[in-house]
Each structure stands twice: as structure tokens, then as C-alpha cells.
Amino acid sequence: MATTKEQVRSFPWFRTVKAHMIERYIFNYRMPPAELKKRLPAPWLEPQVVNGSSAVSFCILWLDRLTLSPIPPLLRFSTISCAYRIGVLDTSVDPPAPSVYVTDRWADLPLISILGPLVLHDTIPVIKAAIGHEQNGETHVQMSYADGAALFSASVRSKPDGQLGSEVFGSVDDFAAFIKAGVSSFGPSLQPGVLTKVDLYKEDVSYEPLIPSIEYSELVDEVWKDAGLQLDSAVRAKGAQYTWAYRGLWSAARHQ
């Protein structure tokens, strides 16, 4: 008998957030699907497998012109936000649909922390975030909690050959298709046993392969340190319009 998911609560159309993406950095890790399965929060979410592995990505977004629709961006709010993005399959639909599981979201703009529970029914803790471009072409990204504890830090530089060099994705185009297919995302909510759903619509962009040097990742080094995560690849994208549409709350339990 097929597994379905049950909607707990829906909200009207105006829960939509829009922004202009200045830069986006994505650090990809490959992970054994069996290990990911142990950590997914709902029985109708299954690991998405690409060339024998599942992909766990730490995404950093530098955004401006942030606004809550239908209010126009009268003030040019700018923020650096980040999240762990995990490729999954939503098996409650036929055929199973590519989707995303987000373990947590963070942002360096206090206003987002205030609006998070109202708009997404989830907490978005405030962090300290920096993206620094050096004269030698290297870029350093650093995310830390308000108390100074490390969340993620890394350095990147462009790859001379322009190749992704991934064991999961055969090419940059394959990676772009993987990201584009994951429109819907499910993540923790304020209500136990319930996931919040958000659809992300974005303009197509070109991804630039990077050479990453990871200094610290809380998920890899601490929270999921026994999960077999291995650094796979990294990319950068620039300039696109993003729209997040809130789709309500969904029970993480199994319903037949």
C-alpha cells in the first residue's frame, strides 16, 4: 500500500518571499544512501541516489532586495543566509518526485529571524556571516553562531580546467539539472512531528566549478561525523531572481 503524507495546515498565497541573488556557493558532499536514510525525518522521504551516492550540500546565499510579497522592496535589505540542502525523493506521489530535505536554515539579518516563525513556521537563528574576496582570486566564506561558535568555513578558488571533478555528477550540466529538479523542500517546523514545505523558483544560472578547501563543517565534523560524508565538489553562481513560496505544514508520520 502506498505511503502518503497528510497536510496539517495550509496558508494563503501571500506567504511568498522574493529576492535577488548576488552570489551562491554550494559545497557538495557525497554520502552512502543507507546512512542518509537513517537520518530522514519522514517515512515518505527516501534518499535520492546519483551514481551510487546521495548528495548533501551546504548552500550559502548572498541576497538583496529581499521582500515579502506583495510588499515591494522599498528598502534594500541584504542578507547572507545558509542551509544544508539534501537531495531526496518524495515517495508519497507517483512517480516519486525529486525534492529537498533542509536540516536547518540560518541568516545574518535579525529581521529574518523575527519573520521566520511567522512566514515559514520555523526558527531561523541569527548568525555572523562573511564572504571575502581576496586579490589573489581566492574567496573565503565563514559562518558562525551569535556566540562565536563555528558553523562552516572554507576557501575556494576557480578551477583552471573548468571541470566539476565530481564523483556524483558527471558534468556541470548534470549538477544543474539535479539542482533545478529539487523545487520543493521539507524542513523542521515549530510543531513536533511536522515538516514545513517551501517551493523555490529561481532563474537558470551558470555554475562555475571551484576548488574547495574546507576548514570546518559542523554537520560533517560533529553532528553527522559517523555518516561517511566525503567532500565531492563545489560551485559558485551569480545573479538570479529567487522566489520562495510557502506551502504549509505536513505530518512526518506515515499515513496509509
DSSP 98-147: EEEEEEEEEES-HHHHHHHHHHTSS---BEEEEEEE-TTS-EEEEEEETT
Residue 223: what residue type?
Answer: V
Higher pLDDT, 66 or 102: 102
**175-229 pLDDT, tens digit each:** 999 999 999 999 999 988 999 999 999 998 999 999 999 999 999 999 999 999 9
pLDDT category, 256, cuts 50, 70, 90?
very low
226 residue type, one letter: D
Q: What is the pTM of this model?
A: 0.91
Check residue 1 and give its pLDDT: 38
pLDDT tens by residue, 126-138: 999 999 998 888 9
Largest CA distance in the chain: 59
Count Cα atoms within 13 angstroms, Cβ side, for 165: 17
* Closest to 19 in 3D by CA, of 247, 241, 246: 241
Structural domains of the chain ordered from first start: 7-86+101-132+154-251 (2.40.400)
Give how far Cα 16 sits from Cα of 31, 65, 82, 156, 201, Å: 32, 14, 18, 32, 11
Phi/psi of residue 72, nearest 5 degrees: -70, 155
Which DSSP symbol is given to 183? -
Q: What is the pLDDT of residues 96-133, one digit of tens each?
A: 999 999 999 999 999 888 888 888 888 899 999 999 99
| Mean pLDDT rounded to a whole number for the chain | 90
Check: CB of residue 159 under 8 Å from CB of residue 236. Answer: no
Instruction: Specify the DSSP element, H or E, that contains 20.
Output: strand 16-31
The one-letter amino acid at 97: A
Q: How many CB atoms lie within 10 A of CB 65?
A: 17
pLDDT band for position 12 (50/70/90)?
very low
